[in-house]
Amino acid sequence: MPNIEIHGLFWRGITKSELRNKIWRLFDGKPFQADMVVSEIATDVSDVRGTEQPFLRLVSTLSPHTEEIMAQLETLNMDIEWLELKKFVPKRE
């Protein structure tokens, strides 16, 4: 399950909720969209001058879609971290 985390409060005047919607629109119609989640992380991210430095973090097991997800996220022109998740264990139904 790819997890796209939003860190930081604002990005170019856009709220986290607006950014979340923008992220979802990037993947409209993609067959893997139903397996994705977008998390809004309640963090303040700033540099030594106090300037906000929001970023996205993709946490995902290696999958055929990971490169495509990264390519789409890069169109947002934000800092992005890509962490490879060793294993994902879904909850039992």
How high is the pLDDT of residue 71?
Answer: 96
Residue 92 within any structural domain of the chain: no
Indicate whether 14 belongs to any domain: yes
Phi–psi pair at 35, nearest 5 degrees: -90, -5
DSSP state of 47: -
**Domain annotation covers residue 91:** no
β-bridge mates for residue 56, sequence order: 6, 80
Residue 52 is part of which domain span? 3-84
> What confidence tens digit (pLDDT) does each residue in 15-74 have?
878 899 999 999 999 999 999 999 988 888 989 999 888 899 999 987 889 999 999 999
CATH for 36: 3.30.429
User: How would residue 91 be classed by pLDDT, with cut points 50, 70 and 90?
Assistant: confident
Q: How many domains does the chain have?
A: 1
Strands (E), the chain: 3-7, 10-11, 14-15, 37-41, 55-60, 79-84
According to the model, what pLDDT value does residue 14 have?
78
pLDDT of 44: 85
Which pair of tokens denotes residue 31?
A: 């067959």
3-state secondary structure of 7: strand
At residue 22, the pLDDT reads 94
Helices then strands, each counted (H, E), the chain? 2, 6
